[in-house]
Chains A and B, each alone.
Chain A
Amino acid sequence: MTAASMGCGRDHERFTMPWGPLPEINPSDMFKMPYPNFRRMDKYSRLGLTAIGLALIDAGLSEWTRERKIGIVASTVYGCLETDVDYYKTVIPDRGANASPALFSYTLANSYLGEAAIRFGLTGTNYVLTEQHPTGLAGLQTALDHIIRGDVEQILGGVCDVGCPQIFGKPGIVPPGAVFFMIEKSFARKISSYGELSMDEKGGIIYNGSEIKDIAILVQKCLDGFHHA
């Protein structure tokens, strides 16, 4: 989910993560079953949940009957800051009398991971992290670490940001968008893989033998390998 496009890797040959408004999300395009809660969610949760859903579709794992011990680790810079502001604006006018419990439920950076866990039956490790100096790769690195350690067999790792709310008068330092990768310990399914991830001694990500420093570059390398193989 980026300002340039939304979709699955298998449907795209090019990937960029530019600055700009994100595409509108229509839940009926994404979810086979009705999903009334989707419209009640904040923008950050809708973005993250959609990207996770697309990654699961791409990996052939969106349909399920029994819960799976699949984890999710996502990085963010601003998290749900926009929702925080929206919520507190319901508190100010009447000194808390009209504080919105519905908005408050989404004032945690990890709320959307809980929504994804419910929607897709994912019971594994599940949290959000923020880097002091963002690289965009921390979620994927940490997800990979959980695989290497054997905590889970399958995990989603990625990044999700909607930008810095205008009220703070600061330009955002990362473009809005969300990207998730589905990574698995041992790949033995009918669907083809994009390649192999490993980790160097310092925790850096290695994709098919090459060091990766940027999440957008990793996506493009995956697409190049898949579509031109």
Chain B
Amino acid sequence: MSVDNLKNKDSNRVVVTDAAVITGLGNNLESLWQGLMANETAIRPITRFPVDQDFYKAKIAAHIDDLEAANNRSMLEHLLDRLVLELGSVPSDSALITATIKAGADNLESFCRGGQANFQDVLLSSIANIVGPKLGLICNGICISASCASSTIAVAHGAALIESGRAEVVLVCCADLITEYHFSGFSALKALSPFPCRPFDRDRKGLSLGEGAAALLLMNADRARRENRNRLGSLLGWGISNDATHITAPAKSGRGLVQAVDQALKTAKRKPEHITAINAHGTGTVYNDLMELNAFRQVFGERKVPMYSIKGAIGHTLGAAGAIEVALGLKALSSRVIPLTVGFANPEKGAEGQVSSESQPVSGDYLLTTNSGFGGVNAALVLGR
């Protein structure tokens, strides 16, 4: 198969026809959207495991209150059950691409404590093992694991499969949970904020953890038309890079993110001036947010592209973050307004006039969404209205 054959056949244009999202702000995309627009946050005191110890400076997270684990299964199964209910019909010939960083980490904890638990839920392949049979999918699913850019890369991989003509339909499905496992680790790295995170605010102190799941149905434009599918928007470009600098800290220069954004724009055949808004990773850690401001300044120059982060509302949902943000980014493009950044009040230097505590109207057709994570990974997507 030659490279020329893969280039932008219109019939293989990638459209998103369905999106399901479950977060601390509710069981669907609309409740997340309404919550964001109302400046709500799901970040609240943790009750799932004990956090009263003095060494935990943070005692909050954005969890989904009524998730349950039954019959030795992980809470992941309950979360995915709910997610699947939110989806419309999924063709059985859909390729399945999943994403997570730690799948059923609650079951891993049970094993380590000598308890009984379902082993399959611990594996990275668990989301495919749960979702594939539920939806009657016939293909061999895969799971992308690339820290906090996992589902962003899963979306990119799915779009590439469709664009190359090797799949007509791809279901991207991702999830991550809040567990003591994650909480203690981020706490040990001193990455957690004692108060709900405040992305791009000069008084930010770190991130807040969240949990969630998302499913996106990607389809080539021809098939979507033939099946009379709803069209939420399109995926036009994608780029992935590595900082090659540090395992847990971003490259201060932002060079890795710049490389990923440049590649995404190139794939989308768009220029920086076409981008109307940015969904930033915006974790609320000192170094991540500075890195992003630095990177976007290099890509967009002095132009203040309207930008937001949703992590002040639903926390950092780890491997699920990217796909949740794609669903929300498409909603923002179609609504011609981007959400406010919950928790943002006093702009970090460089964020003035770009990030806002109020929703911002936007008029263009293209939104950039990016995620970066441990291991130096960066991923960027260009979404179209």
Report A's interface with B, CB cutoff 8 A.
Answer: 67, 69, 71, 76-79, 81, 84-85, 87-89, 91-92, 95-97, 99-101, 104-105, 107-111, 113-115, 117-118, 121-133, 138, 142, 145, 148-151, 167-168, 170, 198-203
Contact = CB atoms under 8 A, between A and B. Distances in A.
B164 to A, nearest CB: 7
Nearest to B97: A129
Most buried by B among A111, A123, A198: A123
B348 to A, nearest CB: 25
A48 to B, nearest CB: 12
A148 B3 contact: yes
Nearest to A101: B188
A131 B98 CA distance: 10
Contacts of B247: 105, 111, 114-115, 118
A111 B263 contact: no
A138 B181 contact: no
26 contacts: A71-B240, A79-B124, A81-B123, A96-B187, A100-B188, A105-B248, A108-B145, A111-B374, A113-B375, A114-B247, A114-B375, A114-B376, A121-B244, A124-B242, A126-B146, A127-B144, A127-B153, A127-B240, A128-B146, A129-B142, A132-B125, A132-B128, A132-B141, A145-B164, A149-B3, A198-B1
Contacts of B96: 132
Nearest to B50: A95
Contacts of A121: 244
A123 B140 contact: no
B184 A96 contact: yes
Given A114-B375, A125-B241, 13 more contacts: A88-B181, A96-B183, A110-B374, A113-B242, A123-B256, A126-B376, A126-B377, A132-B142, A151-B263, A167-B112, A168-B119, A198-B1, A203-B166
Contacts of B145: 79, 108-110, 127-130
Interface in B106-160: 108-109, 111-113, 119, 122-125, 128-129, 132, 140-147, 149-150, 153, 157, 160
B181 A129 contact: no
Nearest to B244: A117
B111 A85 contact: yes
Most buried by A among B144, B242, B256, B377: B242
B358 interface: no
Contacts of A167: 111-112
A104 B96 CA distance: 29
B189 A123 contact: no
B147 A107 contact: no
A101 B189 contact: yes
A76 B259 CA distance: 27
A129 B160 CA distance: 15
B181 A91 contact: yes
Nearest to B149: A127
A148 B185 contact: no
B53 A96 contact: yes
A137 B50 CA distance: 43
A67 B251 CA distance: 14
B56 interface: yes
Given A123-B241, A129-B144, A78 B112 contact: no
Contacts of B205: none
A118 B142 contact: no
B180 interface: yes
A149 B376 contact: no
Interface string B158-195: 00100010100000000000001101111111100000
B322 to A, nearest CB: 12
B246 interface: yes
A96 B111 CA distance: 17
B245 interface: yes
A89 B112 contact: yes
B146 A127 contact: yes
A122 B112 CA distance: 36
Contact of B142 (A84, A110, A138, A148): A138
Contacts of B239: 151
A124 B260 CA distance: 9
B261 interface: no
A99 B102 CA distance: 17
